[in-house]
Amino acid sequence: MDTQQLIKNQVTANPVVLYMKGSPKFPQCGFSSLAVQILQACGVQNLTAIDVLQDPAIREGIKQYANWPTIPQLYIHGEFVGGADIMRSLYESGELQQMLENPVA
């Protein structure tokens, strides 16, 4: 399976996927840490976190998959949401909580 197909499978098979540097318990950058904190504040229990530092193909492939140059990247119900700054804006407006509660139709 090629990297793009693997990523597609990951984001569609799991309700909430965060591509990050490190793990939720040990984030390896400030933006990944912020992303995890936001998801925890939203009460996310079913987070699938993928450490891009463990797999160079995923690290580069995820940037191509969403046409988004930075990590972390959040996917909810298979849809790309954005990085840490977008997550913060959506959280502050209440939109992120709604996205997490309501599956994409």
Listed in sequence order, the DSSP H helices in the chain are 3-13, 30-41, 56-65, 84-93, 95-101
pLDDT tens column, 46-99:
899 999 999 999 999 999 999 999 999 999 999 999 999 999 999 999 999 999
Q: What is the CATH number of the domain that holds 47?
A: 3.40.30.10
Omega of the bond prior to 72 within 30 degrees of 0, cis? yes
Question: Would the annotation count 29 as a binding residue?
Answer: yes
- The angle at the Cα of 49, spanning 28 to 72, to the nearest 5 degrees, equals 55
105 has pLDDT over 50: no
Residue 48: domain span: 3-101
Tokens of residue 31, six digits: 């933006």
46 contacts 40 by C-beta, under 8 angstroms: no
Query: Token pair 């990050």 is at which residue?
Result: 20
User: What band does 18 get if pLDDT is binned at 50, 70 and 90?
Assistant: very high
User: What band does 103 get if pLDDT is binned at 50, 70 and 90?
Assistant: low
Give the count of domains, the chain: 1
